[in-house]
Amino acid sequence: MLHSTEPLDRFYSVIPAGGIGSRLWPLSRADAPKFLHDLTGSGQTLLRATWDRLAPLSGEQRIMVVTGRAHRAAVEEQLPELADCNVVLESEPRESTAAIGLAAAILEKREPGVIIGSFAADHVIKGAAQFRHAVAEAVTAADAGYIVTIGIQPTEPAVGFGYIKTAGTLNIDGAASALSVDSFVEKPDMSTAQDYLASGNYFWNAGMFIARADRLLEEIGAAEPALLAGLLELAEAWDTPRRGAVVDRVWPRLKKIAIDYSVAEPVAARGKLAVIPGQFDWDDVGDFASIAKIHANGRKRDLAILGEGARVLADSSSGIVVSHTGRMIALIGVEDIVVVDTPDALLITTSANAQKVKAVVDALKLSGSTDVL
């Protein structure tokens, strides 16, 4: 079955398409979030690539997208196959437990016993066969009652990702590689990351969660009973004329909490969280250094250039240029530089400082320069 191209049994994909991607400012904006950009030079937005990756696993009619009202038109333009009933619009952001939990509650009501898999709209994955392999095992483990995540086999001591610490094999039928999760750990320093890599017991946390919808809701309820009650009330009304009124009343009051804290960590602590090691290439494309790295793979030039009609003149400079203006950009002797040129804002930094871009966004907010956010 592993090399089948048939959809996986009872499986439903959920794509939360929410985050702006502040560390990718000024490319990513409130009105042009990260998932609507082509960051790999493939010609596809990250959202569209995510759809194309998931469609063979669940079927096109079984992909639900949770996104903000402001992004509805852009999402539907990217995903013309997306069924109306599978668009869940947030009136305001309420974090991942509410977003994924609402999808789970709606789908469980429509189709009891459904298994959902939640995958970020703005990550990059290479290796379709390996991805399918991992998701298939995850679905099997989920069917056995586990909350399941897919951990990425580290290829370097990355300091930009969170890690999953494993605790031993689980011996699940049909999910031979499933391991028990000991705990989730935050982004490490370089020395710790090197220890993690050497130990072989740590995986990158890609934020992928696969579970029976009923089990996921059960775990949300165990940690956040009021939040679960709200989700069930929303789901009850969702496919009825009462949806709008209930959303207006209930959604804005839901607790904002990441699913990592509400579900993943407590469940791991009780030994009920499984991880499937993913053997595919994965990147969260979290900052411009990451984009530069993706573009350097398989190319010999040191300077990555993104943007249609980019005009770049560079000597020995290295790094990445993102050009959205068509202006002539001349670089002389700048190493590991990051240049992002947009009509109203220009960012210049280095790969080593790429993580700090979020601080610029925060500073711009504080200084009231919201016109460029």
- 159 is an interface residue for its own copies by CB under 8 A: no
Report, in Å, the least distance between residue 147 CB and its own copies: 38
- 176 is an interface residue for its own copies by CB under 8 A: no
- 365 is an interface residue for its own copies by CB under 8 A: no
Which two three-digit tokens encode residue 13? 């994909």
Q: For its own copies, which residue of 85, 198, 315, 365 counts as binding (CB under 8 A)?
A: 315
Residues 6 or more apart in contact with residue 14 via CB below 8 angstroms: 63, 64, 65, 66, 100, 103, 104, 107, 116, 117, 118, 119
Residues 6 or more apart in contact with residue 289 via CB below 8 angstroms: 338, 351, 352, 354, 355
- 90 is an interface residue for its own copies by CB under 8 A: no
What region does 349 belong to: left with phi over 0, alpha with psi -120 to 50, or beta?
Answer: beta
Over the range 326-361, which residues count as b (16 or more CB within 10 Å of their CB) and which as e? eeebebeebebbbbbbbeebebebebeebbebbebb
Report, in Å, the least distance between residue 353 CB and its own copies: 4
Report, in Å, the least distance between residue 71 CB and its own copies: 23
Report, in Å, the least distance between residue 371 CB and its own copies: 8
- 330 is an interface residue for its own copies by CB under 8 A: yes
What DSSP character marks residue 261? I
* Interacting span for its own copies (CB under 8 A) from 122-130, 192-200, 225-233, 310-318: 310-318
- 362 is an interface residue for its own copies by CB under 8 A: no
Q: Hey, is 101 helix, strand or coil? A: helix
- 363 is an interface residue for its own copies by CB under 8 A: yes
**212 touches 143 (CB < 8 A):** yes
Q: For its own copies, which residue of 52, 69, 343, 365 counts as binding (CB under 8 A)?
A: 343
Report, in Å, the least distance between residue 194 CB and its own copies: 24
**100 touches 215 (CB < 8 A):** no
- 372 is an interface residue for its own copies by CB under 8 A: yes
Q: Please report which residue ranges of 111-199 form alpha helices under DSSP H.
A: 128-143, 190-199
Q: For its own copies, which residue of 7, 18, 26, 307 counts as binding (CB under 8 A)?
A: 26
Q: For its own copies, which residue of 233, 364, 365, 368 counts as binding (CB under 8 A)?
A: 364
* Interacting span for its own copies (CB under 8 A) from 42-50, 155-163, 243-251, 338-346: 338-346
- 350 is an interface residue for its own copies by CB under 8 A: yes
* Interacting span for its own copies (CB under 8 A) from 11-19, 80-88, 126-134, 346-354: 346-354
What is the C-alpha separation between 120 and 102, in angstroms, rounded? 16
Which residues make beta-bridge pairs with 116?
12, 211
- 21 is an interface residue for its own copies by CB under 8 A: no
* CB closer to its own copies, 89 vs 310: 310
Cis peptide before 343 (omega within 30 of 0): no
- 339 is an interface residue for its own copies by CB under 8 A: yes
Task: Give me the residues that bind its own copies (CB under 8 A), please.
Answer: 25-26, 311, 313, 315, 327-334, 337, 339, 341, 343-350, 352-353, 356-357, 359-360, 363-364, 367, 369, 372
